[in-house]
Amino acid sequence: MTSVRADELPGQHSLAVRGLSVRFGGLAALDGVTLHVDEGEVVGLIGPNGAGKTTLFNAVCGLVRPSGGTIAVHGVPLVPDPARLAGQGVARTLQGLGLFRGLSVRENVLAGNLGADDPGAAAQRQLVALDLAGHADRPVGDLPYPEQKKVALARAMVAEPRLLLLDEPAGGLGSDDIAALADLVRHTAATGCAVLLVEHHVDFVMGVCDRVVVLDFGRVIAAGTPDEVAGDPAVDEAYLGIEVPA
């Protein structure tokens, strides 16, 4: 069951990033980025290659150290440490699947929730929710790629995060699987989870997100509903006008 921390401030954003800056030597990968995601919301983070999307995820996860700014989850300053993320209600999927290919589907899902009171029951709930229960005892590497993507999502969701970071979830999927993924993402948000989504597949982003934040050269150049962002000339120039990988 998702816990509420005693020091959580009521009415706060699920994720609040304020003035976040990350430098790699002389390069400002993020330069004063401010964004938020609320409970039950799907927010897309898009931008051209090198815009800073992965760096923002990495900063939230404690994989890079910001030079400035703050990150808070439900009003509580985040302690950016990969080993403590789950305890702070945050989960992330990876661009690559990052699955343990020699383990079964169930074992992979279990790996996402080592601290649960009843990890088996939590894993079973996710297997059922993602229609994977029939494959639970198969080696994950035997499943088709779209099913493996679902296993990666189940592993992220098994700890019942309140903030889910999805890193290019549509990568490598065909149109039918992308439509199914959109349903899954909306379903996840409907459970109250806040979802921040990095994705190059623009149609998927525009179809699934409540709001979209556009980065370019480490700065927010536009933010709003998909329609607002799609009609923004700065976005056309920076992003939508260029060819992006499918």
Ligand X SMILES: Nc1ncnc2c1ncn2[C@@H]1O[C@H](COP(=O)(O)OP(=O)(O)OP(=O)(O)O)[C@@H](O)[C@H]1O
Q: Does 54 bind ligand X (CB under 6 A)?
A: yes
**Rounded to an integer, what distance in angstroms lies between the CA atom of residue 143 and that of residue 189?**
26
Q: How far is the CB of 246 from ligand X (least distance, A)?
A: 13
Binding flag, residue 62, ligand X (CB under 6 A):
no
Question: What's the closest the beta carbon of residue 62 comes to ligand X, in angstroms?
Answer: 14
**Does the protein bind ligand X through residue 29 (CB under 6 A)?**
yes
Among 13, 37, 52, 193, binds ligand X (CB under 6 A): 52
Element (H, E) at 182: helix 175-190
Tell whether residue 65 is a contact of ligand X (CB under 6 A).
Answer: no
What is the rounded CA–CA span in Å between residue 197 and residue 68? 23
User: Pick from 36, 53, 92, 162: which binds ligand X (CB under 6 A)?
Assistant: 53
The amino acid occupying position 32 is: G
Show the tokens assigned to 170: 């549509």
Query: For residues 173-192, which are near ligand X according to CB under 6 A?
Result: none
Q: Measured from the CB atom, is 55 or 88 closer to ligand X?
A: 55
Kindly state whether residue 51 participates in binding ligand X, applying the rule CB under 6 A: yes
Interface size with ligand X, residues (CB under 6 A)? 11
Element (H, E) at 194: strand 194-198
Q: Which residues contact 234 (CB under 8 A, 6 or more apart)?
A: 214, 216, 221, 222
- Starting at the edge strand found earlier in the chain, the sheet holding 76-77 runs 27-37, 15-24, 68-73, 76-77
Q: How far is the CB of 23 from ligand X (least distance, A)?
A: 9
In whole angstroms, the minimum distance from the beta carbon of 54 to ligand X comes to: 3
CA torsion through residues 22, 26, 32, 34, sign: negative
Q: How far is the CB of 226 from ligand X (least distance, A)?
A: 19
Residues lying near ligand X in the complex (CB under 6 A): 24, 27, 29, 47, 49-55
